[in-house]
Amino acid sequence: MQLSRFADLGLRAMMRLAVSGAAAERVTVKLIARQVNASEHYVAKAVSRLAELGLVAAHRGRTGGVFLTELGRTATVGQIVRGLEGGAQVVECGGATPCPLVSACRLRHMLGTAQETFYRELDNYSLSDLVDRRTVELLHVPVVPAR
């Protein structure tokens, strides 16, 4: 299994928010993008999707920022990835050139079962399992209180 770049960035944003710990710390999309070495625009899209899923919330303005919701703090990694991947199949059988084997193919079912097994394995892990002291050190988390 391979995560999409979108799901990867969403997980990294969640990890960054988990590192911040205190609700008083101001974490912006710009800061997350810089720390995970990604486009601010693409991180903003991932954060927007996380907000739609109820995993993060954002406040606009000078003292605004992004933070984890209670659901975001308690969601499993599997739940987060499922939400970010949006039900994408491992293999697309349709498209511009549909596969001529689609009516008799058993591969799609097998890959779907493998994908669900992958997600169930990720359900064994929480966001806190992804973050440790080294993560905090790598991010050099500045504590900037909200004003």
- Residue 106, pLDDT score: 84
User: Which amino acid is present at 61?
Assistant: G
Q: Which residue has the higher pLDDT, 33 or 87?
A: 33
- In the chain, DSSP assigns E strands to 56-59, 65-68
- Residue 141, pLDDT score: 57
pLDDT of 62 over the 70 cut: yes
pLDDT of 147 over the 70 cut: no
Instruction: Decide: pTM greater than 0.85.
Output: no
pLDDT of 72 over the 90 cut: yes
Distance of alpha carbon 52 from alpha carbon 10, whole angstroms: 12
Distance of alpha carbon 118 from alpha carbon 10, whole angstroms: 18
